[in-house]
Amino acid sequence: MARLDPPEVHDMSAHQRRVHDAIASGPRGRVRGPLAIWLHRPGLAEHAQALGQYCRYDSSLPPRLSELAILVMAAWWRAPFEWWAHHPIALREGLDADAAEQIRLGAAPRFAARDEDVVYRFVRELLETRRVGDALYRAATEVLGRDGVVDLVGIAGYYTLISMTINVFDVQPPDGSTVEFGR
């Protein structure tokens, strides 16, 4: 059970309502999960959702790679709502279902595509060591380009905030399903 329910639309301040409506009318099409929790602080919601919109829809990375990075973050943080929300998108964008399952279980998947391998290793190394070594940085820049590496770091940072919000406020999948993570 969530620790904090989203504010009711009919009780929202003008600022909350403006942010709510901007999110609902954007590419997400609705307000749920951590975004709904952030509406308690509409200034946070406003800026965080703008960053999230960039990370999800305007990044230089193709959706297959950004969704891969999001799944790595969700599994690392054991954030069930995030996994529930992004797993189907990642599969639809072309991520291999077996690779996604290995990520969920905390195992290192084998990728056929070099760009997927680089994204996975980059995000994992960043999480595990709080840095990325020179060789992996060079490989990521070669495969993803400078802009792709900058966007990948932005995605990792944003989905850290998302995952922290999910975990602190116990945001669960709305359909009642559960997600178990290995490690």
Q: What's residue 1's pLDDT? A: 65
H/E run at residue 52: helix 42-53
Flag whether pLDDT at 27 surpasses 70: yes
Long-range contacts of 86-89 (CB under 8 A, 24+ apart): 89/63
What global pTM score does this model have?
0.94
Both tokens assigned to 100: 């996604």
Q: What is the pLDDT of residues 87-111, one digit of tens each?
A: 999 999 999 999 999 999 999 999 9
- Domain around 88: 63-168
Report phi then psi at 29, rounded to 5.
80, -5
Q: Could you give the CA distance from residue 53 to residue 151 in angstroms, rounded to a whole number?
A: 12
For residues 157 and 86, membership in a common domain is answered with yes
- The answer to whether residue 183 is domain-embedded is no
Report phi then psi at 100, rounded to 5.
-60, -40
Mean pLDDT is lowest, of 2-6, 15-19, 172-176, for: 2-6
CB 125 within 8 A of CB 140: no
Mean pLDDT of 20-27: 89
Q: Of 58, 77, 93, which marks where a domain is finished?
A: 58
Flag whether pLDDT at 52 surpasses 80: yes
Burial of 88 (0-12, 13-18, 19+ CB in 10 A): exposed
Mean pLDDT is lowest, of 49-58, 68-77, 134-143, for: 49-58
CATH code where residue 72 lies: 1.20.1290.10
For residue 176, what is the DSSP state? S
Q: What's residue 2's pLDDT? A: 75
- The answer to whether residue 1 is domain-embedded is no
Q: What is the pLDDT of residues 65-83, one digit of tens each?
A: 999 999 999 999 999 999 9
